[in-house]
Chains A and B, each alone.
Chain A
Amino acid sequence: MEPQQGQGKPHLPPPSLWPIGFAIGIVCILVGLIVSWPAAAVGVAVTVVFGFLWVRDVTGGYRRRDIGTEPAVGGPESATEGAPAIPADRGEAAMPEPAPGERFPRSVFLEGATLGLGSVIAGIVTVPIVGFSIAPVFQHVHHDEIDLGPISNFKEGQYVVTTFLRDPSEGEISRRTAYIRNNGFLDNKPSFTVLSNRCAHLGCPVQPNGPMFDKQKLEETTKTGDVTLIPALPAGGFGCPCHGGQYDQEGNRTAGPPVRALDRYEFYIRNGRLAVGRTYSVSHVDGAGASAKIHKYKETGPGQHVDGPEQWFYPLQPPS
C-alpha cells in the first residue's frame, strides 16, 4: 500500500536509527549461533526489540492518519445527545467509545503495548515465584541408606518396632517407624519384612494388634542417628486407630478403608548390619515370610490405588 497524503502534508518517513540496532541484533544472532547459545538469545531479543521499534516508526504515518479520519466515520450518530439505546451485547461493562473530536482517542497500539508490557511484568515476577513454590514437587529427593544396627538384634520370626531417622540432616521431623521381621534365610541370603507404619488409607500411624515388650527395648546409636528397637507380638496383625483400617501380619489389608497393603522399605545387608532405603507401595502380598510374593509398585501416597480401575485416577506421581 502506497503512503497517501495525510492532513494535507506529504508523508515522509522520519530518519530512524532503529535499523542499525536491528542489524546489530542480526549480527549478534549469527555470531551467537557459532560461539554460544546465550549470545544468540541476546541477539534474538535485540532483533525483536529493534525490529518492533522500526516497524512502529515506519507505520506511524498510517496509524496517525487512521485516527484522524475516525470522527468522519463516526458521524453525528455517535454524539451523546439522542444516542440510540446501547445494544444488548454492549452493556455498561463494555469499554467506553471515544467522544468525537477527543484529543486522545482509542489507540489500539497503546492498548496492546500496555497490556503486553503488563503481561511481561507479570511473567517476569510470576515465573520465579511460582517456580520457587512448586519446584519441590518435581525434585527427586536423595535417600541415604539408614543403618539400623546388627542383624543379631532381630530375632528370627519376631516383629521389632524400629524407629529411626529417615533423613539424619532433617532431624527429629524425619523420624519414622517400621515393623521389621527377620524371616531367616532364603537361598542363603537373609530375608526381612520391613513394613512402613504409615496407613495406606490416609497416613495415620498404624499400631501392632498385640503387646509390645517395652522391657526388652534396645537403643542403638548408628552412624545415621539413634535407633530404638522394641519387640512386639502383633498376633492380630496391625490396626489403624484413625478410621479403623486393619492389616494382617504381612501387611495385607483385611478390613476397613485402606486401598492397598502397607508400604515397605527396601532393605540391604551391609557387613552383617541391616539398612533400609526407599519405600515402595504394595498392592498385596501372596504367601508369607521369606517366600512371600510381593506385588510392588512405585511409592504412592496414602489413599491412592495402585491397582484396579481406580489406579487411573492417579496416572502420574510426583518423584519421591
Chain B
Amino acid sequence: MPRRRDRKEQMLAAAQYPLDWLEERSGLIGGLRYFLFRKVPGDSGWWHTLGSATLTAFLVQLGTGVILAMYYKPDPKSAYESVQHINNDVTLGWLVRGMHRWGASVFIILIFFHMARVFLFGAYKYPRELNWVVGVLLLPLALLEGFSGYLLPYDQTAYWATVVGININGTGPFIGPFLASFLRSGPEITGDTLSRFYSIHMLLLPGAILGLIGLHLYLVVRLGVSSPPWSPEAAGRERAEPPPVPGSGLVNPAPRGVTKRPD
C-alpha cells in the first residue's frame, strides 16, 4: 500500500512539474488561477451568461471562418462557384457554412440580449462606464462583419444588398461619397470590391473585435460583475446602518490587487 501511495504522489508530482515550470518562467498559471478563482457576487446566475455566450458564438465564427477561408476564392469569376463547392462537395462543408451563416445571426442576437441585460441591470454605471463604451463599439463592428460577409457568397441577394449598403454609406454628409468610393475601391463595384470586402471581413474587423473583446474581458475581470438589482443580497447594496468604517472610500482608486485598508 505505501508503495502505491508513493507512486501516486510521484505521478502527481510529475504532472505538476510542467505546470510549475511554466509558472516559474511566465506566471501564466497564476494569472489563470486568478481568473478562475476570483470571487463573483453570490447572486450572479443565468443572467450573467449572455456575455460568455456571445463570446462562444464569436469563437464559433472564428473557427468556421478559418475553415471556409481555405476553400473560398474572393474573385467575382469563381466566388459563387467556390461557395457551391463548399456546399456540395467539401465533406461537411454545408455544416461549416451553415454554422458560419447562422452563427452570425446568433452572435448579433446575443449581443443585443447582452446589451439589454447590462442596461436593465444598470451595470454600465460607475466604475463600469468604459466597459459599456467598449461594448457599444463592438456592436457596429459586429454589424459591419455581417455586412461585409454578406457580399462574399456573391449571389443576387449578396450583390444587391451590398450595393444598397455601400450607397447608404454614400449618403453621409461630406465624406459619404468618398467612404462609398473607398468601400467599392473606385466608382463602380468590381472584382477589387470583393477582395476588399474579404480582407475587411476576415482580417481588419476580426482583429479589431478581438482587441476590443480582450479589453472588455480585462475590464470585466478587473471590475467584477454587478449583482441583479432586485437581489436582497446584492453586492455593494446600501445598508440601513451607517457604513462600518466611515471614510474608507479611496481618494484615488487603488492600483489593482491593492485593497486600501483603514489604519
Contact = CB atoms under 8 A, between A and B. Distances in A.
Contact of A133 (B160, B177, B182): B182
Interface of B: 76-77, 160, 163-164, 166-168, 170-171, 173-174, 176-178, 180-182, 185-192, 196, 251-253, 255
Contacts of A204: 160, 163-164
Interface in A271-320: 299-304, 313-320
Given A137-B181, A304-B177, A320 B160 contact: no
A174 B188 contact: yes
A85 B250 CA distance: 13
A126 to B, nearest CB: 14
Contact of B76 (A171, A242, A301): A171
A318 B176 CA distance: 10
Interface string A195-216: 0000000111100000000000
A303 B186 contact: no
A202 B164 contact: yes
A110 interface: no
Nearest to A201: B167
Contacts of A127: none
Give the 3 A-B CB pairs with smallest separation, nearest first: A303-B171, A301-B170, A320-B187
Contact of A173 (B166, B168, B189, B196): B189
Nearest to B187: A320
B251 A141 contact: no
Contacts, number: 88
A156 interface: no
Contacts of B176: 301, 304, 313-314
18 contacts: A86-B252, A92-B252, A134-B182, A136-B186, A137-B178, A139-B186, A171-B77, A172-B77, A202-B167, A202-B168, A203-B167, A204-B160, A301-B176, A301-B177, A303-B171, A314-B177, A316-B174, A319-B187
A301 B188 contact: no
Given A92-B252, A136-B185, A314-B173, A174 B190 contact: yes
B170 A303 contact: yes
**Which of the four size classes fits the interface of chain A?**
35 or more
B170 A91 contact: no
Contact of A301 (B160, B180, B190): B180
Contacts of B173: 313-314
Given A170-B190, A314-B173, A203 B181 contact: no
Contacts of A92: 252-253, 255
A313 B252 CA distance: 46
B194 to A, nearest CB: 8
A300 B168 contact: no
Nearest to A139: B186
Most chain B CB atoms below 10 A, which of A170, A203, A302, A304 = A203
Interface string A82-118: 0001100001100000000000000000000000000
Contacts of A203: 163-164, 166-167
Contact of B182 (A85, A137, A141, A317): A137
A139 B180 CA distance: 14
Contacts of A299: 187
A137 B252 contact: no
Given A203-B163, A242-B164, A303-B167, A314 B174 contact: yes
Contact of A136 (B77, B166, B168, B181): B181
A301 B190 CA distance: 16
Contacts of A253: none
A288 B185 CA distance: 37
A95 to B, nearest CB: 15
A166 interface: yes
A292 B25 CA distance: 82
